[in-house]
Amino acid sequence: MKPLFEFFIKLCILSVILWGIVLFVLDPGRVDYHSIFLAWIMVITNTVAGYLLFDYALDKESTVFTKVVFGGLTVRMLIMMALIAGIIIRKLAVTNDFVFSFFAFYCIYVIVEILGYQKKNKQKKKTA
């Protein structure tokens, strides 16, 4: 199976599991699902962008790879920080629910992103 397809399958399965936990474990009267959804969308978009940048840069020379991966990480983090600040300042979400769910989703999805990098790198080494 291609690593990109496998990565997206893992993201879908993980998202279904996490949303099952959110919907069935958390009390609807105590949490704001809109805030959680907003955090999830931001994190999943960030994860996909990171993996796609890595996928693009993997076959490039070392300097291009470094610029794309680490430059992309920097740009993604700046965009995320600006979005988080905008959401909190404009009060588009319940701050506690948004921040806690963002942190939880980010910690989980960054692990999946790194495992995707490793899998893609292993497959490249096998074909080389």
pLDDT in tens, 8-48: 999 999 999 999 999 999 888 899 999 999 999 999 999 99
Is the pLDDT at 51 greater than 70, yes or no?
yes
Listed residue (36, 46, 35, 38) closest to 11, CA to CA: 46
Compute the distance between CA of residue 14 and CA of residue 51 in angstroms, rounded to an integer.
16
Report pLDDT for 59.
Answer: 87
Q: What is the mean pLDDT of residues 61-76?
A: 95
Report pLDDT for 4.
Answer: 84
Residue 122 pLDDT grade (very low, low, confident, very high; cuts 50, 70, 90): confident
Contact 93, 41 (CB under 8 A): no
Compute the distance between CA of residue 9 and CA of residue 124 in angstroms, rounded to an integer.
20
Model confidence, pTM: 0.90
Q: Which are the contacts of 20, defined by CB distance < 8 A and separation ≥ 6?
A: none
Compute the distance between CA of residue 83 and CA of residue 40 in angstroms, rounded to an integer.
13
